[in-house]
Structure 1
Amino acid sequence: MFIDSVELTVSSGKGGAGAVSFRREKFMPKGGPDGGDGGKGGDVYFVVDKNTHTLSHFKGKKVLKAKNGRPGEGRKKHGKNGDPLVLIVPPGTEVRDAVTGELLLDLINDGEKVLFLEGGKGGKGNWHFKSPTNQRPTYAQPGLPGKTVQIRLELKLIADVGLVGFPNVGKSTLISVLSNAKPEIANYEFTTLTPKLGVVEVSEFESFVMADIPGIIGGASEGKGLGLQFLKHIERTKTLLYMIDISSYRDPITQYKTLKKELNKFSEVLSKRSYAIALTKIDALSLEEANEKISKFLESLKLKQNSENRYGLDKNYRYFLQKKDDIDIEKPYFVFPISAVSNINIKPLSYALYDLVKMNR
């Protein structure tokens, strides 16, 4: 089950109380105070683990608490420290104050271990309070209380490229062909119900991570469909790939403008990221009809078709590609016609996306 947001109340442990004790042994009837210190309360830590991909292990848990420190004992015995509470989260998890929404931690790096709440200190035993004027102290310190915070964990997946498009435009098919991801694929809308990550291997030593989210429809920024709920998962991406179904009953330029509008309403920063466009399902049209639609789409965006072909594109189809030494970030880096099913321009797409990712890195 994919869960990307949970609310929890977390507490560090209370410190153990110091002991009030006096040494009582044979031949030492009036031994001095020997009450030991209380143990420290358990701390609360967050640990980032890349082998964890969801917050589902927190499902059904509302209150999580570290162990309290044990009280001290006679003979100056120190109480046992409380066991810490270790919360394991996937990379990309934000820890926010559930009341104010303030960002407390942004956990990104695998293996990172962060102290979140410190446990209460243990109280001092009565032997600490012995003095020439007070040789029989009958009091010790109580342990200090732990800290309690209401938090909300929000997972925002970390990827290099985020796929954006209407439902059933071929996002899942593309990520399954390009990467190691195995999403559900079917010929109906909203097949993708949860975000998916896949690693695209460009060469033996070069790769990037691609994120597929549920399809976006008009009005997504107002809560329609599933896209709004998962748009946060591409907030961290530096590169967006708009996927436009050229064979759809929806006009390609209408699809593109709707997607740009919804992303802009959700986040102006996200809508201004570097981007490229893939015109999908090109094999569903005849060559003449496909090129006519491509030309019309390029004209509507005021883009001129060019003949530069550094990625080995299929020369039967028209396309747009910016010059590598003269990049205009206001324009798409490329507009490629593709077909994941027929393997048209799939390798060139991965090479071009990798170059765009490298530029943004």
Structure 2
Amino acid sequence: MKFLDLAKVYIRSGGGGGGCVSFRREKFVEFGGPDGGDGGNGGSVWAEAVEGLNTLIDYRYQQHFFAKSGQPGMGSQRTGKTGEDIVLKVPLGTEILDEDQETVLADLVKVGDRVRLAQGGNGGWGNLRFKSSTNRAPARANPGQEGIERTIWLRLKLIADAGLVGLPNAGKSTLLAAVSNARPKIADYPFTTLVPNLGVVGIDGAEFVMADIPGLIEGASEGRGLGTQFLAHVERCKVLLHLVDGTSSTITKDYRTIVTELEAYSDILGDKARIVALNKCDALDAKTISTRRKALEKASGGPVHMISGVSGQGLQDTLRAIRTAIIGETPKVEEGPWQP
């Protein structure tokens, strides 16, 4: 299944049916009077978040969605049939944007969340509605209200608790594969990951969802590489795991590059909690690890986890730190027995 996180959709609600001009005509019934029914209401266009979807690929091959119009009213006070609604089923985390791609109309983050994007037109009144004490035989009816036609954008932001960020080949996909059942593509060349991947991570009997996005490079905010088009998928994360390639000779520069691109993208990502980890420690000796750890701690201004996605070194402690940041609790320190 191809991954698609942005789609342009054209929608139109149904128009209301016109009212009917009719007079009762039956044998042996005098003074029949008006009996024209109202027109039916037009169908509306809705968007609903459902389970089982993780891409907007369905809206690449079909972009036009038109609800049914209501039927006209009929004689004998019969109301026209209401038009059927159209429901756009979208994945959890889908944002509905106006045509300008900036105005957020709705954000569907829970199963069953629904929003009406275009309301159907009201049906017109039949001539029975216009009967009065001074106008006993009205010969007029209202036309139905026209439907609403508009263009919207669907933008998917994956819902995850933690997000992986780093330069290409920092080991993000390897780490995700090591701590979850996800099987992202792994290779020894840059930009192996072309689409975001999700994995469910378990630690100490608890679970959380981790998202891996394609790597960033210097100038990504200006469109270099794959740009920042996938950063929206970690906006909802409560914490970011910043992976730095331990085998690189410019680890501090690598760290600052990612931080700069996150801050250039949005203040939300710039201010989000981050956990820094030096990856690929299995390929380094103890002296190199110590030197590069101190340099990275000085650049980041905080602690640095030493991990390896291949050997599993330091992964458990890092996952516990991520879990603690997600639930927003301070880890409890187990005290020994009291002694005088």
TM-score (norm 1): 0.86
TM-superposition CA deviations, 1:161-185 (whole Å, max 9, x none): 1111011111111112212322111
CA drift of 1:133 comes to: 2.8
Aligned residues: 329
Partner of 1:260: 259
CA drift of 1:279 comes to: 0.8
Aligned letter for 1:15?
G
CA drift of 1:274 comes to: 0.8
TM-superposition CA deviations, 1:1-40 (whole Å, max 9, x none): 1111112221211111111122223323652221111111
Partner of 2:237: 237
TM-superposition CA deviations, 1:273-323 (whole Å, max 9, x none): 11111111111122333233223333444xxxxxxxxxxxxxxxxxxxxxx
CA drift of 1:355 comes to: 0.5
Partner of 1:213: 213
Aligned letter for 1:269?
I
**Distance in 2 separating the partners of 1:112 and 1:218:** 38
Check if 1:11 corresponds to 2:12. Answer: yes
For 1:98, what is the secondary structure of its paired residue?
Answer: coil
CA drift of 1:121 comes to: 0.7
Aligned letter for 1:348?
D
1:18-33 correspondence runs (5 A): 18-28=19-29, 31-33=32-34
Decide whether the 8 Å contact of 1:214 with 1:227 is kept in 2. no
1:235-314 correspondence runs (5 A): 235-248=235-248, 250-301=249-300
Pick from 340, 356, 360: which aligns with 2:309?
A: 340
Partner of 1:222: 222
For 1:9, what is the secondary structure of its paired residue?
Answer: strand
1:172-211 correspondence runs (5 A): 172-204=173-205, 206-211=206-211
**Distance in 1 separating the partners of 2:38 and 2:207:** 55
Check if 1:160 corresponds to 2:161. Answer: yes
Partner of 2:324: 355
Aligned letter for 1:273?
K
Decide whether the 8 Å contact of 1:16 with 1:39 is kept in 2. yes
Partner of 1:97: 98
**Distance in 2 separating the partners of 1:70 and 1:36:** 11
**Distance in 2 separating the partners of 1:56 and 1:18:** 41
State the identity %: 45
Partner of 2:147: 146
Cα distance change of structure 1 residues 45 and 182 upon mapping to structure 2, 3 Å threshold: same
Decide whether the 8 Å contact of 2:238 with 2:325 is kept in 1. no
For 1:228, what is the secondary structure of its paired residue?
Answer: coil
**Following superposition, which runs of at least 4 residues in structure 1 exceed 3 angstroms of deviation?**
none
**Distance in 1 separating the partners of 2:238 and 2:221:** 20
- Measured on the aligned residues, the alpha-carbon RMSD in Å equals 1.9
Partner of 1:2: 3
TM-score (norm 2): 0.91
CA drift of 1:42 comes to: 0.6
Partner of 1:34: 35
Which consecutive residues of structure 2, in runs of 5 or more, have no partner in the other structure?
331-340
Partner of 1:304: none
For 1:54, what is the secondary structure of its paired residue?
Answer: coil
Decide whether the 8 Å contact of 2:18 with 2:123 is kept in 1. yes
Which consecutive residues of structure 1, in runs of 5 or more, have no partner in the other structure?
302-330
Partner of 1:56: 57
Partner of 2:133: 132
Decide whether the 8 Å contact of 1:215 with 1:227 is kept in 2. no
Decide whether the 8 Å contact of 1:238 with 1:360 is kept in 2. no
CA drift of 1:247 comes to: 1.0
For 1:229, what is the secondary structure of its paired residue?
Answer: coil
TM-superposition CA deviations, 1:32-62 (whole Å, max 9, x none): 2211111111112111113211111111333
